[in-house]
Amino acid sequence: MIGLRGNYEGIGADFVVEQDLAAYSRDEHALFDRLLTRQADLLKKYACRTYREALARLDLQGGVPDFVKTSVALSRATGWNIVGVPGLIPDDVFFNHLAQRRFPVTVWLRTPAEMDYIVEPDVFHDFFGHVPLLFDPTYADHMQEYGKGGLKALRLNGLKFLARLYWFTIEFGLIRENGAIKAYGAGLLSSAGEMPYAIADTKPERVLFDAMTTMATPYDIDRYQNTYFVIDSFEHLMAETAPDFTPHYAALNAR
């Protein structure tokens, strides 16, 4: 599938591409399974229950999953669908998909050399990391609100702040569960190294999530974070991000 990696020629305005299941090599299916197996033990220890239960229901048959098949179950559960994309897509296109309950999932898979670290999201990060939680109604609603908020942030010069919110919740968020701290962020769930680090290492600080502090916290995409934000529940995340952020953006831009 290397051919499709970052190949945008002839792409439409929505940046959607068909997932060609036949185009994945046997090695690619095997690599996807190796990534899955490697995470399995870590998930038991570090992943939040909602994620683990949703992943189990997905019943991944082995190899790179079929977006169309998963979308049938997903749309029945929360009205979301998966759309294939060739990689990162423009912010406004990305947010517009989320606002319409379409989750963009990259169609290509990393190479074995990128097993431990990949800069851009690939199908393992996007599918394994993001898709299971879209089966949870509250999280699914939050993700759609996030998309609508993103389109608004673009108009209010607030994208940088909203991207930080996304980074510290949807990508690297932690959640309190029965007195323990677990992972729900896709970047953590799909990483063998950063999930244990974020939860068990003494180096990073773990602070209670609030939207303003998160939006004021810069992040580095190519290193582990110094700070991780902890929500009490997805309802807490929803409530914290429901307000109109216009005044927040104005205050943050004024700093």
Question: Which residues are catalytically annotated?
Answer: 125, 130, 171, 190
What minimum distance in Å lies between the beta carbon of 125 and Fe ion? 6
- Convert residues 71-110 into a mask of x (bound to Fe ion by CB under 5 A) and - (unbound): ----------------------------------------
Residue linked to tokens 């943050």: 252
82 near ligand HBI, rule: CB under 6 A: no
123 binds, among Fe ion, ligand HBI, none (CB under 5 to 8 A by kind): none
Q: Which two tokens stand for residue 235?
A: 């309802």
Residue linked to tokens 């974070």: 225
What minimum distance in Å lies between the beta carbon of 91 and ligand HBI? 5
238 near ligand HBI, rule: CB under 6 A: no
Question: How much is the CA Rg of the chain, to the nearest whole Å?
Answer: 17
Half-sphere exposure of 239 (CA within 13 A, CB side): 7
Stretch that binds Fe ion, among 9-17, 81-89, 105-113, 179-187 (CB under 5 A): 179-187
State residue 99 phi and psi, 5-degree precision: -65, -20
58 binds, among Fe ion, ligand HBI, none (CB under 5 to 8 A by kind): none
186 binds, among ligand HBI, Fe ion, none (CB under 5 to 8 A by kind): Fe ion
Identify which of residues 14 and 33 has a Cβ nearer to ligand HBI in the complex.
Answer: 14
Identify which of residues 186 and 188 has a Cβ nearer to Fe ion in the complex.
Answer: 186
Q: How far apart are CA 119 and CA 220, in angstroms?
A: 12
Q: Which of 89, 143, 183, 231 binds ligand HBI (CB under 6 A)?
A: 89
249 within 8 A of 157, measured Cβ to Cβ? yes
Q: Helices in the chain by DSSP H: which ranges? A: 26-46, 49-58, 67-78, 91-99, 123, 137-155, 159-166, 186-189, 194-200, 211-215, 234-241, 246-254
Residues in Cβ contact with 9 at an 8 Å cutoff, skipping those fewer than 6 apart: none
60 binds, among Fe ion, ligand HBI, none (CB under 5 to 8 A by kind): none
Residues numbered 181-210 forming contacts with ligand HBI, rule: CB under 6 A: none
Residues within the interface to ligand HBI (CB under 6 A): 85, 88-89, 91, 94, 104, 106, 121, 163, 166
